Structure 1
Amino acid sequence: HLLQSSQRLRLMIHRTPLPADLAAADNVEIARANLAQPATLIDAVGGVDVVVHFAGKLFFPRPERFLPETNMKWFSNLTDAALAAGVGRLVLISSPHGEGPTSPQQPATGRVDRQPFSVHARTRLAEERLLLERSEGTDTTPVILRLGMVYGPGILMIEAARWLAKRRMLAVWSEPTWYHMLSTIDYLRATEAAVLRPGIRGIYHVGDQVPVTLQEFLDRACDAWNTPRPWRVPVWTVYAAAQVCEWYARLFGAPSPLTKDFITIGRMPHFGDTARMRAELLSQLVHPSLETGIATLR
């Protein structure tokens, strides 16, 4: 998204190399570092104006064991390095799940004093608290983007759903679950604004303007893909499938495409108050609702 701009970009990698065209871009510099090793982060963030953090680990069994390390400790290491280097702004990509179940009638408003029941949500909320607390009184401005569910071509979960739908294997629980949606282009524009726009600070809920349920989104997505709509199944069968995936992953040392905690956070209805986003980040969205955004999935 920013390759066509005049911005100089330093992209941090660990083991996986960047795509060749991205690595070869004139305004891209590659920094190799390891979030688990603080000493490797010093050069990675040195001389940088803004750091954007969107790293994590998914699809492995027993997330309660690794998420405190990958979500909290790794971000703690990055925050310490950014503060020591005097980075001007640290942008954390997060989600509204930290406030627990929310809805269009009672949206998330930027609170950080909740205790969500998903491990993913608890550790993401802990990251937010860490950033706000450690940056207080420093030269580093904290920015937290609580994104709705980003949809569009190439998004991992969306492509997984498409793969399953083509094979008539996509299923969802019957209970309607509110989801706040966000198109890929509007996610990119919001993040660009968070990086470049003066005066940005604190927590922003980023999403479109018309709430939908997860079930409605998947139905509409399948229509766009010309595939059968997802099966409606009892929620216990989804948890059972996740348990089987975790058992298999632990037995063979493989990734787990589903975990029980991933289902728990997926079942959490969420919708954020976007008034601050519209006032300070994006006054207009390219896709203010799924009505126009769904075409990006075709």
Structure 2
Amino acid sequence: MSAPVLVTGATGFLGHTLCPYLVERGHRLRALVRPTSNCEFLPPLGVELAWGDVRDAKAVRAAIEGCSTVVHAAGKFRFWGRHEDFFATNLDGTRNVLEAARQAGVERFIFISTIAVIGAPHTDRVIDEIYPPTPWDDYQRSKLEAERLTLRYHREHGLPTLVLRPGAFYGPGSHYAFNRLFFEDLLRGLPVQVDRGQHVTFPVYIRDVAQGIDLALGRGQPGEVYNISGPSMSHREINDTVDRLLGYRTWRFNAPTWAMLALAQAWTWLSRYTRREPYYPLNLALYVFYDWQVSSHKARRELGFVPTPFEEGARATLTWYRELGVGPANLLTRLAARVTRRKL
């Protein structure tokens, strides 16, 4: 029997798609999971459970024993939070997994990073793997430092590591980030766009991230970095596609940049006292008010990566939301939905 692949982050948004995807393709898996995580879907897949947290070096060493490969997908991703929390999970946790992998002599180590490590993109340059990163927030900084540590383990210790940088996740299974902004808010009767939808974003269907990981397990070159993303799209193109799939055109409130930034600034200031993430945190601005022209040509060429057309992924996402019954939650949003929607 082949040695298992250790997956961290198995109960997150990516993990819920990644684990079934890898099992379908014949991989034997072991998942490092916290006792508080919802991991009921894993045993029916035949996934072995190892209890612990990436921040616990001893638990990581025990989980990795006997594994041939590591897919390190655990991480803290939010648009708001404490500096120490991001670095404890994203950097210190990665260090624990790398060191355990080195001691165990694993044959391959894949670190799941993010294209967002580049910080604020320049509009006149395509974001490829050699684009110079200048991270802005603690999430981006902690992921970039973890990337560099991962690649240093390859150079200095001979550990066969590589880095995947996915785009903005979307697809069934999440109520956060891209899903919320482009699907859920609209369905709940909060149709907002900024700067008339002219800015460009970098979506990747969640199953395509799993595809990229599976391909990297077999074809990825140690010491390399690969962008895993679908084609970049303007917000307007995304909105038009979603409207077409829903069968009605939605008038969206066009929020000017200055107004959204002022709102985000005030909401983020208030969060110091509420200790709750703002609905529009200030760090979200980097993803909304900039143009992310991302290239995944390297992954296509070297790994054979083929992204799902956005319309196909969006259709699956909307079907999932429909099954959940997501819609306007109160009289005001029901009225907004009625006023702003027009059948195509």
TM-score, normalization: structure 2?
0.74
RMSD: 2.9
Q: Is the 8 A contact 1:60 1:259 kept in 2?
A: yes
Q: Is the 8 A contact 1:223 1:229 kept in 2?
A: no
Match of 1:141 in 2: 160
Higher relative contact order (CA 8 A, sep 6+): 1
The whole-number CA distance in structure 2 between the counterparts of 1:254 and 1:191 is: 33
Give 1:3's match in structure 2, choosing from 3, 23, 26. 23
Q: Is the 8 A contact 1:194 1:200 kept in 2?
A: no
The whole-number CA distance in structure 1 between the counterparts of 2:119 and 2:32 is: 32
Give 2:237's match in structure 1, choosing from 209, 213, 216. 216
SS at match of 2:136: coil
Match of 2:229 in 1: 207
The Cα shift of 1:32 comes to 0.9
The Cα shift of 1:39 comes to 1.6
The alpha-carbon distance between structure 1 residues 72 and 137, as it changes in their structure 2 partners (threshold 3 A), is: closer
The Cα shift of 1:65 comes to 4.5
Match of 2:329 in 1: none
Q: Is the 8 A contact 1:219 1:230 kept in 2?
A: no
The whole-number CA distance in structure 2 between the counterparts of 1:24 and 1:171 is: 41
The answer for unaligned runs of 5 or more in structure 1 is none
Give 1:264's match in structure 2, choosing from 274, 280, 286. 286
Q: Alpha-carbon deviations, 1:137-191, whole Å to 9, x = none? A: 4342111111122322223335434332123224232163222232233222111
TM-score, normalization: structure 1?
0.84
Q: Alpha-carbon deviations, 1:31-59, whole Å to 9, x = none? A: 11122221221111122122112222244
The Cα shift of 1:241 comes to 4.0
Whether 2:48 is the aligned partner of 1:13: answer no
The Cα shift of 1:199 comes to 4.4
The whole-number CA distance in structure 2 between the counterparts of 1:153 and 1:98 is: 24
Q: Is the 8 A contact 1:103 1:178 kept in 2?
A: no
Of the structure 1 ranges 261-270 and 7-16, higher mean CA displacement relative to structure 2 is found in 261-270
Give 1:234's match in structure 2, choosing from 256, 259, 266. 256
The alpha-carbon distance between structure 1 residues 114 and 69, as it changes in their structure 2 partners (threshold 3 A), is: same
Q: Alpha-carbon deviations, 1:60-101, whole Å to 9, x = none? A: 744444322232222122222222221222111122222344
The Cα shift of 1:109 comes to 2.6
The alpha-carbon distance between structure 1 residues 147 and 59, as it changes in their structure 2 partners (threshold 3 A), is: closer
The alpha-carbon distance between structure 1 residues 66 and 219, as it changes in their structure 2 partners (threshold 3 A), is: farther
The whole-number CA distance in structure 1 between the counterparts of 2:288 and 2:142 is: 15
Whether 2:95 is the aligned partner of 1:76: answer yes
- How many residue pairs match? The answer is 294
The whole-number CA distance in structure 1 between the counterparts of 2:245 and 2:39 is: 28
Q: How does 1:1-298 map to 2 (within 5 A)?
A: 1-26=21-46, 28-59=47-78, 61-102=80-121, 106-111=125-130, 113-157=132-176, 158-161=178-181, 162-174=183-195, 176-197=198-219, 199=221, 201-208=223-230, 210-225=231-246, 228=250, 230-243=252-265, 245-246=267-268, 249-285=271-307, 287=308, 289-298=309-318
Q: Is the 8 A contact 2:76 2:139 kept in 1?
A: no
The answer for unaligned runs of 5 or more in structure 2 is 1-20, 319-344
The whole-number CA distance in structure 2 between the counterparts of 1:218 and 1:229 is: 10
Identical pairs, percent: 21
Q: Is the 8 A contact 2:76 2:86 kept in 1?
A: yes
The alpha-carbon distance between structure 1 residues 133 and 19, as it changes in their structure 2 partners (threshold 3 A), is: closer
